[in-house]
Chain A
Amino acid sequence: MVILLKKLLRTAWSYKAQFVSMLLMMTLGIGIFLGFNMEWKTIEYDVSRFFEDTKYADFRLYSETGFTQDDLEKIASIEGIDAATRFLSVNLDLKGDEKKALAVDVSENYTVSTFVLTDGREYDDAGDGIWLSDKFAKLNGVSLGDTLTLEFQGTEIECEVVGLIKAGEHMICLADSNQVMPDFTTFGYAFLSPAKLSDVLREKAARTVSEELEKAGLPKDAAKEQAESAVTEEMIEAAKDKVFSQILLRSGMEKAALEDAVKEALGRTLMVVSKEDHAVYKEAMGEATEGKAMGSILPVLFLAIAVLTMVTTMHRIATKEKTQIGVLKALGFRNRKILLHYSSYGLFIGVVGSALGAVLGYFVCKMVMSEDGMMGTYFDMPDWSTATPAFCYPVIAGTVLLLALISYLSVRVQLMGTAAEALRPYTPKNVKQSLLEKLPLFRKTSFATKWNLRDLMRHKSRFAMTLIGIIGCMILLVGGLGMRDTMAGFLDLLDNGISHYATKVNLVEGTQVEEAAALIEALDADWESYSGISIDGYTATLDIVQNDKGRISVIDQDNREIDLGDDGVYLCLRLSDRAKIGEYIEFSPYGGEETYRVKVNGYNRSIMTESVTMTDRLAQKLGISPSVSAIYTEKRSDEIPSSPLISGRQDKRQLMDSFASFVEIMDGMVVILVIAAVILGIVVLYNLGVMSYVERSRELATLKVLGFRSKKIGRLLISQNVWLTVIGVLLGLPAGLGTLEWMLSALASEYELKLMLGPLTYTVSILLTFGVSLFVDWMVARKNRKIDMVEALKNAE
């Protein structure tokens, strides 16, 4: 046994190029398989746990007019609801710095959508301070005990930072749907207590009364004093009823059942959004779904290539070892023992490759899913422990066993027959005339072409493997570089194709067009209104647009601007299967009883939301009175006067800059894919190249003896791979585009991306694939110079 083990190690050494390539492929195969699958599982596991720890709401109800205490009680009493809270989330600018803002949340009942404290004081619903995002605090140099001043509809809120937190509600902290990547240097989140909200509302109410008294002629100080005593608890409660525009629920109910129960309890239809449809949860779980989609293509490709490499290489080793196998048999070793010995080759590669692959997989996962990793910029959560999907273990064990089985089967073929037969060296299959040779063109081809074509027919598995290697290399390159191009195109579209403004000004919820008219005119702005609608029970966004000044554009699927007509709506591409152009759709806004029937005028590419778009004129015609959600102006944010209508300002440049980290993540992924493509190409092609060289060494030696120069023989070898590379590239290009299209469709639930590949991507992918192929050819062709003619021609074939 020890001797056979020594034999295994020495044989491995004598076939070191093959063993190293098999080990590398196995390590890469398992590493990428495990890494990608661990990545999505880790997202799912860590994110779910964080959501659970922070009691993330299962449902949220929206009302533009707000919820009263009575509404809450009625909702909370619905059977099947475990916890309910009135909730306010509003974006407020930080005073002193025009460009910094916080999403400020207030939850009346701290049993839904809470946070995890990382430093400071525990949450206190009567507390006066602010619980601030620890990441925002760190990146903006804010410490516990510092005072922040926020602006809320003209009222300043001063509060001391009493706790540093992480909240599930803001795990992906985006200012609005236009932002793709969080940027904690400019935008964070915080929680205030309901008591603090009451104080703010009291101050706001007092200011309003005081201003009215001043207008009535009272001196400022007197008006202020009188106003403070005039504000009653009822007034504050009424104000609260207006600002709490959400009710968050913890419940295991079905959405439809809850909708009915809510309608029955409150007597009106409300927009009910389940957590699966809520932006943060949807985005986070979307990442896991994307990871799953990615995990089912790339790793499978790598693993399949690893196994196929093993099949061809083990077959080659077994044929080379045939005489030794015969010797063992002739010596009296039983077939079982010989088979066991050779199966251990595959087992050895499987076990060592899997162990190294597990380490690689862990690092691949960590590179993506860790606080300092790629996702660290996107997700803000406290725990980044890794998790592995359960199916990975049997897959790895199965792969190891498969490798042992491949070795077993490769050797079993050589063991068949008598010991004398086993002792005879392996003879490759004889060549037969193929159909190809019947073509008149074939007869006219050069000797080199015929030689190479017949060689490929004779060694079909090597031929297929080489093609798969080249196609794999192309898929990774086109996929990686194409994804980057598409993202860059998407950003360019967002920057130059859709947004022609300098600043987006978000208005306070419920601001009517008439109220905002003066501001819109002063800022020479266009405006947009988003609100929730139901299309046959499916939640979408109604996007009412007034873009006469061209500050914002609506684009079609070819990214061309649509001149919106006033006689119909435009469905975003994700909703395009709901109605054909010219057909009618029906929708009902949440919070009302009306149903509207409108013609579908066309389809548009919506960057983020699943939306139905119409002009303000059509809205008017239909009798919809929209509230203005945002206005778009060419004025800089510091040129915009303060107004109680403004809830926040967003600089377009700043928004576009926030994509820098997104692009960085993309670049990281592209680098990984390009490196993987090059490694895959080199390992597979070198291994097969060496195999081809060994298989043809006798023929090459014959050519050399006949007087062919080494360079000419080298060219002969290279020409075969050049042709294979041409075929591989031709097949790999559409395969790469198909893979990319497939990956983009996996992203379709979040974005409507259009495949955009620049000429540079095509050029780089093709040249790099050819570069890898020619580099490997050159390395293999070099061996040809050292071919030992005498040794190669000694034995019978």
Chain B
Amino acid sequence: MSIVQFENVSKIYTSGDHELRALDRVSFTLDEGKFVVILGPSGAGKSTLLNLLGGLDSPNEGRITVGGADISKLTDNELADYRASTVGFVFQFYNLIPTLTVYENVKLVSEISKNAYDAKEMIGKVGLLDHLNNFPAELSGGEQQRISIARALCKNPKILLCDEPTGALDSETGVMVLKLLLDMAKNDGKTIVIVTHNQNIAKMADVVIRVKNGKIRSVEEQENPLSADEVEW
């Protein structure tokens, strides 16, 4: 069953007379519970695609449907509610709030999400119960990213969106983080969308969408994706 539908979606940035089509009439669908990797070189439009799907931005043309609801024409507040209830984000640079402790960073989402999980339980799942009262700056990059995953999943979102989640980590930590991400999300039946230019991560995906120059070049379903341990980094 499809959860995401992009229909002729375009995103155009204008600067003076100059017009840049970051996404050009893009169409595709994503099925629920799948692990999707969006692959492409820098400037291909993959982050724009993720931002539109995450409700951080709105398209200039076309229609985006998530769980049957059109999110392309939502107001600011409606988009905020959509982000609070439907999607969880994991960023390359974690984006934890530096002035909140590990526990508070995760607990924070219960302020806006009605279906939030227990923050401590989520932190336990990422194995950082010992660091509840630490500030982000007191953790390693990998630990910070694990907290970021716990925060994203604590909201109990339908879709988990990850923008280069291993981009700032060494390969060993990267594998560990990816494994955790897939274990936690897949077990819970979440749809995972990862944007990356790392070809190796694509080998783990159920679906690989290749993007170039703002257009979808291919949508490829992989019958036997590799596990994180099997991928050669």
A residues adjacent to B (C-beta < 8 A): 428, 430-433, 447, 450-451, 454-455, 458, 698-699, 701-712, 785, 789-790, 793, 795-797
Residue of A432, A707, A708, A796 near B93 (CB, 8 A) is A796
A102, chain B: closest CB distance, angstroms: 74
Q: List chain B residues, Cβ under 8 A from A790.
A: 47, 51, 56-57
Contact A431 B112 (CB under 8 A): no
Contact A706 B76 (CB under 8 A): no
In chain B, what residue has the closest Cβ to A797?
B93
B91, A793: Cβ atoms under 8 Å? yes
Interchain CB contact under 8 A, A704 and B80: yes
Q: Which B residue sits closest to A795, measured CB to CB?
A: B93
Indicate if the CB atoms of B97 and A699 lie closer than 8 Å.
yes
18 more CB-based (< 8 A) A-B contacts, given A708-B84, A708-B112, A797-B93? A431-B135, A432-B135, A433-B135, A451-B97, A458-B98, A699-B99, A701-B95, A702-B95, A706-B89, A706-B151, A707-B82, A707-B84, A707-B113, A708-B111, A709-B76, A709-B80, A710-B77, A797-B98
Closest to A451 in B: B99
Say how far A661's CB is from chain B's closest CB, in angstroms: 56
Residues of B within 8 A of A703 (CB): 97, 108
- Which residues of chain B from 131 to 175 have any CB-CB distance to chain A below 8 Å in the complex? 133, 135, 137-138, 151, 155, 168
* A116 and B137 alpha carbons, distance in the complex (Å): 78
Cβ–Cβ contact A431 & B99, under 8 A: yes
Residues in A whose Cβ lies below 8 Å from that of B93: 793, 795-797
A-B contact pairs, 22 of them (CB 8 A): A431-B99, A433-B133, A447-B104, A451-B99, A454-B99, A458-B99, A699-B97, A699-B99, A703-B108, A704-B80, A705-B83, A706-B108, A706-B112, A707-B82, A707-B84, A707-B113, A709-B77, A709-B80, A789-B51, A789-B56, A789-B57, A790-B57
Taking the nearest CB of chain B, how far is it from the CB of A124, in angstroms?
A: 84
Known contacts A707-B84, A707-B155; is-contact A450 B100 (Cβ 8 Å): yes
A257 to chain B, nearest CB (A): 73
Nearest-Cβ distance from residue B217 to partner chain A, whole angstroms: 23
Give chain A residues whose Cβ lies under 8 Å from the Cβ of B104.
Answer: 447, 450
Interface size, B (range): 35 or more
Residue of B nearest to A448 (CB): B111
User: How far is it, in angstroms, between the C-alpha of A432 and the C-alpha of B138 when the chains are bound?
Assistant: 9
Closest chain A CB from B203 CB (angstroms): 27
Q: Which residues of B contact A (CB under 8 A)?
A: 47, 51, 54, 56-57, 76-77, 80-85, 89, 91, 93, 95-100, 104, 107-109, 111-113, 133, 135, 137-138, 151, 155, 168
B102–chain A nearest beta-carbon distance, Å = 12
Residues of A within 8 A of B47 (CB): 790
Bound-state CA distance A433–B77 (Å) is 34
**Min C-beta distance of B191 to chain A, whole Å:** 17
**CB-based contact A707/B81 at 8 Å:** yes
Query: Would you give the shortest CB distance from A705 to chain B, in whole angstroms?
Result: 5
CB distance from B173 to the nearest CB of A (A): 16
What B residues does A451 contact at CB under 8 A?
Answer: 97, 99-100
Find chain A residues with CB under 8 A from B168 CB: 796
In this complex, which of B57, B80, B93, B109 has the most chain A Cβ atoms within 10 angstroms of its Cβ? Answer: B80
Complex Cα–Cα for A282 and B54 (A): 77
Asked if residues A793 and B99 are in contact (CB atoms below 8 Å), the reply is no
Inter-chain CA distance A345–B83, complex, in Å, is 43
User: Chain B residues near A450 (CB, 8 Å)?
Assistant: 99-100, 104
A706 to B135, CA, bound (A): 19
Interface of A is mostly: helix
Q: In the complex, what residues of B have CB within 8 A of residue A708's CB?
A: 80, 84, 111-112
**Which 9 residue pairs spanning A and B have beta carbons closest together?**
A707-B84, A430-B137, A454-B99, A707-B83, A796-B93, A709-B80, A702-B95, A789-B56, A431-B135
Distance between Cα atoms of A458 and B83 in the complex (Å): 29
Q: How far is the CB of A139 from chain B (nearest CB, A)?
A: 66
Whether B99 and A706, one on each chain, are in contact in the complex, defined by CB atoms closer than 8 angstroms, is no
Give the chain B neighbours of A710 by CB distance below 8 A: 76-77, 80
Q: Which residues on B sit within 8 Å (CB–CB) of A428?
A: 98
B222 nearest CB across to chain A (Å): 29
The listed residue (A454, A702, A704, A707) touching B85 by CB distance below 8 A is A707
Residues of A within 8 A of B54 (CB): 705
Nearest Cβ distance between residue B197 and chain A, in whole angstroms? 15
A708 to B82, CA, bound (A): 10
Shortest Cβ distance from residue A380 to the other chain B in the assembled complex, whole angstroms: 63
**A447 contacts B100, CB within 8 Å?**
yes
- Residues in A neighbouring B76, C-beta threshold 8 A: 709-710, 785
Task: Report Cα–Cα, A710/B75, bound state, in Å.
Answer: 12
Contact B98 A430 (CB under 8 A): yes
**CB nearest to A698 among chain B residues:** B95
- Assess whether A431 is in contact with B137, with CB atoms less than 8 Å apart: yes
How far is B85's CA from A545's CA once the two chains are assembled, in angstroms?
85
Residues of B within 8 A of A797 (CB): 93, 98
Residues in A neighbouring B56, C-beta threshold 8 A:
705, 789-790
CB pair B95 A705 closer than 8 Å:
yes
Q: Which residue of B lies closest to A705 (CB)?
A: B89
CB distance from B74 to the nearest CB of A (A): 12
Complex Cα distance, B81 from A789, in Å, reads: 15
Q: How far is the CA of A328 from the CA of B112 in the complex (A)?
A: 45
In whole angstroms, what is the CA distance A711 to B80 when docked?
Answer: 11
Contacts of A709 in B (CB 8 A): 76-77, 80-81
Measured between C-beta atoms, what is the minimum distance from B87 to chain A in Å? 8
CB <8 Å contact, B100 and A454: yes
Interchain CA distance A566-B146 in the complex, whole Å: 90
Alpha-carbon distance A711/B99, docked complex (angstroms)? 21
Q: How long is the Cα–Cα vector from A128 to B205 in the complex, in angstroms?
A: 118
Please tell me if the beta carbons of B99 and A707 are within 8 angstroms of each other in the complex.
no
List the A residue with the shortest CB-CB distance to B86. A707
Q: For B133, what are the chain A residues with a Cβ–Cβ distance below 8 Å? A: 433
How distant is A694 from chain B, measured CB to nearest CB, in Å? 15
Say how far B56's CB is from chain A's closest CB, in angstroms. 5
**How far does the alpha carbon of A378 sit from the alpha carbon of B80 in the complex, in Å?**
65
Complex alpha-carbon distance, A746 and B59, angstroms: 68
Contact A447-B95, Cβ < 8 Å, known A707-B84, A708-B80: no
In the complex, chain B residues whose CB is within 8 Å of the CB of A454: 99-100
Complex Cα–Cα for A662 and B107 (A): 63
B57, A447: Cβ atoms closer than 8 Å: no
State how many angstroms separate the Cβ of A129 from the closest Cβ of chain B: 83
Q: Which residues of A contact B81 (CB under 8 A)?
A: 707, 709
Nearest-neighbor residue (CB-CB) of B54 within chain A? A705
Q: In the complex, which residues of chain A have a beta carbon less than 8 angstroms from the beta carbon of B151? A: 706
Residues in chain B near residue A699, CB distance under 8 A = 97-99
Chain A nearest CB from B99 CB (Å) reads 4
User: B80: which A residues are within 8 A, CB to CB?
Assistant: 704, 707-710
Chain A residues with CB under 8 Å of B100's CB are: 447, 450-451, 454
A451 CA to B95 CA, complexed, in Å: 15
B46 to chain A, nearest CB (A): 13
**Cross-interface CB contact of B112 among A702, A707, A789, A793, cutoff 8 Å:** A707
A1 vs chain B, min Cβ distance (A): 30
Expressed in whole angstroms, the Cα–Cα distance for A455 and B100 within the complex equals 9
Residues of A within 8 A of B98 (CB): 428, 430-431, 458, 699, 797
Question: A793 to B95, alpha carbons, bound, how many Å?
Answer: 7
Interface-centre pick from A430, A432, A710 (highest chain B CB count, 10 A): A430
A366 → chain B closest CB, angstroms: 49
Note all chain A residues with C-beta closer than 8 A to B137.
430-431
Q: Across the two chains, which residue of chain B brings its CB closest to A707?
A: B84
Q: What residue of chain B has the Cβ atom nearest to residue A453's Cβ?
A: B99
A468 to B82, CA, bound (A): 41
The docked-state distance in angstroms from the alpha carbon of A458 to that of B111 is: 24
Nearest residue, chain A, Cβ from B157: A707
Complex Cα gap A698–B95 (Å): 8
